[in-house]
Amino acid sequence: MHFVFLAEDQSSANSLKMLIPQLIGDGDTFAVHSYHGGGRDVSKFLKTEPRKQIFFARLPELISG
Structural domain tally of the chain? 1
Residues 6+ apart with CB under 8 A from 56: 46
Count other C-beta atoms under 10 Å from residue 32's C-beta.
19
pLDDT in tens, 39-50: 556 666 667 777
Range of the domain at 44: 2-64
pLDDT in tens, 13-58: 899 999 999 998 889 999 998 876 555 566 666 677 777 778 777 8
Distances (CA, A) of 25 to 15, 17, 59: 18, 14, 20
